[in-house]
């Protein structure tokens, strides 16, 4: 089993290096087709080698030290091939794409480490449920190769689409709470609990409800903003020049800030509401949305034909933010 322990140590070292790994700067000799074909083979090889090890330790007798070493070397070489390939992906192809590929490789390494750890920890040499699950996790991580975006445009589209989904969920949750009447906690607090039910801190006042309206407007503007950015990316996003690739990365980075800002505002809306805190969180979200619009408007994904929705959302954000300021003026 010593080769397996050594394998686990080596995988930890590869994982640690992967977190801080830098790609090669020279893109002259980079061949995208070769890169993706070879990475796919490395993922397939990892899946096969992991299966070999899992089967070898599924029933007695245990593999000899020599066979264990061969199995360990086969798996290590497959993972080394995948991680080495990641380093060959130039930064000029996009930081969002590189992060996505790095995460895919990291998931394969993490799944493999869990499998080896399970095998090493097993007291009885048999194919346990835990080992089956761990083997399946490696297969799943390796099969995920098909889902990896193959250029920065596709990577950014996937990222922004994910952010839009999270914002949609937050907005729906808030709208459901508002539809429940004055008490947003009616479905989580027991009616027999008179202490909680009699506490006005679990209810919205009339002043609260007036303030909620423009906050909800900002949340709806966030959804509309991400939806429009996603549409512009699909229609106009390109990766033909380094400048276009960098602009897509900028959009991925700034849209990442929308969802946490929406969540902060949504949480501060629940009673008991602190109006200055709500105002602060609304201002944060407003600022982030303005940055998204600004970065989008100066990028190649926003030709003149797209400028109307930029202006409309600017006005919607200002309108709702001004209402928030007006309604919270006395609370400052």
pLDDT at residue 197, rounded to an integer? 46
CA-wise closest residue to 265 among 173, 202, 182, 185: 173
Return the ∠ at Cα 160 (arms to 291 and 266), rounded to 5°. 70
pLDDT in tens, 157-168: 999 999 999 999
Indicate whether 235 pLDDT > 90: yes
pLDDT band at 124 (very low <50, low <70, confident <90, very high): low
Domains of the chain: 2-147 (1.20.1420.10), 152-331 (1.20.1410.10)
CA distances (Å), origin 297, targets 23, 210, 290: 30, 32, 10
**pLDDT surpasses 90 at 62:** no
Rounded to an integer, what distance in angstroms lies between the CA atom of residue 248 and that of residue 100?
A: 14
* pLDDT average, residue stretch 322-329: 96
Q: Report percent pLDDT > 70 for the chain.
A: 89
> What three-state secondary structure class fits 274?
coil
| Three-state secondary-structure class, residue 56 | helix
CA distance linking residue 222 with residue 224, whole number of Å: 5
Determine the pLDDT at residue 29: 82
pLDDT of residue 316: 98
**pLDDT category of residue 207 using cuts at 50, 70 and 90:** very high
**Residue 194: pLDDT over 50:** no
pTM of the predicted model as reported, rounded to 2 decimal places: 0.87
Using the predicted structure, report yes or no on whether residue 144 has a pLDDT greater than 60.
Answer: yes
Say how many residues make up the chain.
Answer: 332
Per-residue model confidence (pLDDT) at position 107: 97
Q: Is the pLDDT of residue 23 over 70?
A: no
Q: Report the C-alpha gap between 308 and 148 in whole angstroms.
A: 33
More confident residue, 277 or 196: 277
Residue 142 pLDDT exceeds 80? yes
3-state secondary structure 133-185: HHHHHHHHHHHHHHHCCCCHHHHHHHHHHHHHHHHHHHHHHHHHHHHCCCCCC
* Between 175 and 124, the higher pLDDT residue: 175
Residue 73, pLDDT score = 97
Sign of the four-CA dihedral 11, 16, 19, 20:
negative
Please check whether residue 321 is in contact with residue 286, taking contact to mean a CB–CB distance below 8 angstroms. Answer: yes
Q: How many Å apart are CA 196 and CA 191, to the nearest integer?
A: 9
Name the residue among 86, 116, 88, 78 with its Cα closest to residue 103.
86
Residue 286 pLDDT exceeds 80: yes
pLDDT tens string 292-314: 999 999 999 999 988 899 999 99
Query: How much of the chain, in percent, has pLDDT values that exceed 90?
Result: 80
Mean pLDDT of the chain: 91
- pLDDT level of residue 190 (50, 70, 90 thresholds): low
Residue 120, Cβ neighbours under 10 Å: how many? 13
């Amino acid at each position: 089993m010593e080769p397996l322990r050594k394998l686990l140590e080596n995988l930890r070292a590869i994982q640690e290096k992967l977190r801080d790994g830098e790609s090669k700067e020279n893109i002259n000799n980079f061949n995208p087709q070769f890169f993706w074909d070879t990475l796919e083979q490395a993922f397939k090889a990892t899946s096969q080698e992991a299966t070999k090890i899992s089967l070898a330790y599924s029933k007695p007798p245990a593999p000899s030290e020599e066979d264990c070493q061969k199995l360990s070397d086969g798996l290590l070489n497959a993972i080394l091939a995948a991680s080495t390939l990641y380093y060959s992906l130039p930064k000029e192809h996009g930081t969002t794409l590189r992060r996505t590929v790095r995460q895919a490789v990291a998931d394969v390494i993490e799944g493999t480490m869990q499998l080896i750890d399970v095998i090493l920890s097993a007291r009885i040499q048999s194919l346990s449920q835990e080992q089956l699950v761990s083997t399946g996790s490696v297969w799943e991580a390796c099969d995920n190769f098909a889902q990896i975006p193959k250029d920065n445009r596709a990577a950014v589209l996937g990222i922004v689409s994910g952010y839009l989904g999270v914002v949609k969920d937050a907005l729906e949750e808030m709208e459901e709470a508002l539809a429940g009447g004055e008490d947003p906690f009616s479905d989580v607090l027991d009616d027999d609990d008179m202490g909680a039910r009699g506490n006005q801190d679990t209810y919205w006042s009339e002043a609260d409800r007036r303030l909620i309206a423009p906050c909800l407007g900002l949340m709806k503007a966030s959804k509309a903003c991400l939806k429009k950015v996603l549409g512009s990316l699909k229609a106009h996003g390109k990766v033909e020049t380094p400048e276009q690739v960098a602009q897509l990365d900028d959009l991925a980075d700034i849209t990442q800030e929308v969802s946490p800002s929406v969540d902060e505002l949504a949480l501060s809306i629940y009673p008991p509401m602190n109006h200055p805190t709500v105002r602060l969180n609304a201002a944060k979200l407003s600022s982030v949305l303005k940055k998204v619009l600004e970065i989008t408007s100066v990028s190649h994904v926003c030709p003149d034909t797209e400028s109307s929705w930029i202006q409309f959302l600017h006005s919607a954000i200002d309108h709702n933010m001004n209402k928030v300021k007006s309604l919270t003026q006395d609370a400052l």
